[in-house]
Amino acid sequence: MSPVIEVRDLRKTYGSGDTAVHALRGLDLTVQKGEYIAIMGASGSGKSTLLNILGCLDVPSGGEYLLDGIDTGEFDEEQLSLLRNRKIGFVFQSFNLVPRTTALANVELPLVYAGVRRAQRRERALAALDLVGLRDRTHHRPNELSGGQQQRVAIARALVTSPAIVLADEPTGNLDTDSSREVLGILDRLNATGRTVVLITHEDEVAAHAMRTVRVVDGRVAGVLV
């Protein structure tokens, strides 16, 4: 099997000179197609930095990131937005829903940029909301939803385009046990349908859902637990 994600000697430095922060210091990681990976590590170890780069939301300062075998450094702005739209579903720790906009419209958003027609868009967005158990909250705005519900809207938005890769940054970080279980159930089901899932967590129970756990220490991979 060919790796869907391959990262070699990845480096990321924020700032420069005396105040420079080396968030990633030569990180190597390979993720096979259909894998379910948990990334763990101390706060500030570089997990979010890594995931943002994997999601093509940020660019590394050094090293290579191959997506489906192609170096992402070669992509131009337009190809990157296409990748973010079609190939990757990203779930933010802080939800990042468009304010003053209904749950349905938020979930439809990636489909609009994908050029899906209105009727079909609605149908797929409703199906995604159904999947996360929010069918009855479609016309609520983010400020009218609980944290767990907002997180589930964000997940629905990440999976509505049926992306090959789902990246989730502490998707259960703000949730209670029941909501966590629901969200993890959704990710499990996504993985069962063949999608590659990479999630960041601080909790061992969450990591237990994954096939393997990658430990990040000081911007490098410290060890892999199977």
Partner 1 sequence: MRIFEIAAFAVRGLTANKMRSGLTTLGILIGVASVILLIAVGNGASSAVQQSIAGLGTNILTISPQRAQPGTTAKPLTTADAAALVGQDSPAVKYASPVVSAQATAGYGDTTHDIGQFIGSDPRYFDTTNSAVAQGNLFSDNDVQQARKVVVIGATVAAQLFPGLDPVGKSVLVNNIPFTVVGVLAAKGSSGLQDADDLAVAPLTTTQNALTGYGGLTQIVVQARSADALPDAQAQVTTILNGRHKTTGTADYRILSQDQLLTARTATTETFTVLLASVAAISLLVGGIGITNIMLVTVTERIREIGIRKAVGAPRSSILGQFLIEATLLSLFGGALGVAAGVVGSRFTIAGIQPVLVPSSVLLAFAVSALIGLFFGSYPASRAAKLRPIEALRHE
Ligand X SMILES: Nc1ncnc2c1ncn2[C@@H]1O[C@H](COP(=O)(O)OP(=O)(O)OP(=O)(O)O)[C@@H](O)[C@H]1O
Q: Rule CB under 6 A: which residues touch ligand X?
A: 14-15, 21, 23, 41, 43-49
CB nearer to partner 1: pick between 65 and 92: 92
For Mg ion, which is the closer residue by CB, 49 or 102? 49
**Dihedral in degrees, nearest 10, Cα atoms 180, 181, 182, 183:** 50
Compute the distance between CA of residue 220 and CA of residue 200 in angstroms, rounded to an integer: 15
CB of 1 to partner 1, least distance (A): 27
Q: Are 37 and 197 in contact (CB under 8 A)?
A: yes
Per CB under 8 A, does 164 bind partner 1?
A: no
Q: How far out from the chain centre does Cα 7 lie? A: 16
Beta carbons within 8 Å of 97's beta carbon, 6+ residues apart: 103, 106, 142, 150, 153, 154, 157
Q: Residue 97: name its binding partner from ligand X, Mg ion, partner 1, none (Cβ under 5 to 8 Å by kind).
A: partner 1
| CA-based nearest residue to 113, from 84, 88, 91, 89 | 84
Select the binding partner of residue 215 from Mg ion, ligand X, partner 1, none (C-beta < 5 to 8 A, by kind). none
Q: Three-class SS of residue 159?
A: helix
Nearer to partner 1, 77 or 178 (CB): 77
Q: How far apart are CB 48 and partner 1 at their closest, in Å?
A: 9
Task: Tell me whether residue 47 or residue 137 sits nearer to ligand X (CB atom).
Answer: 47
Residues 6+ away with beta carbon under 8 Å from 1: 32, 33, 34
Among 5, 109, 198, 210, binds partner 1 (CB under 8 A): 109
Candidates 3, 57, 75, 122: give the one binding partner 1 (CB under 8 A): 57
Handedness of CA 39, 43, 45, 49 (dihedral sign): positive
The site partner of 155 among partner 1, Mg ion, ligand X, none (C-beta below 5 to 8 Å per kind) is none
User: Quick check: 112 binds partner 1 (CB under 8 A)?
Assistant: yes
Interacting residue ranges for partner 1, rule: CB under 8 A? 52, 55, 57-59, 77-78, 81-86, 90, 92, 96-101, 105, 109-110, 112-115, 157, 161
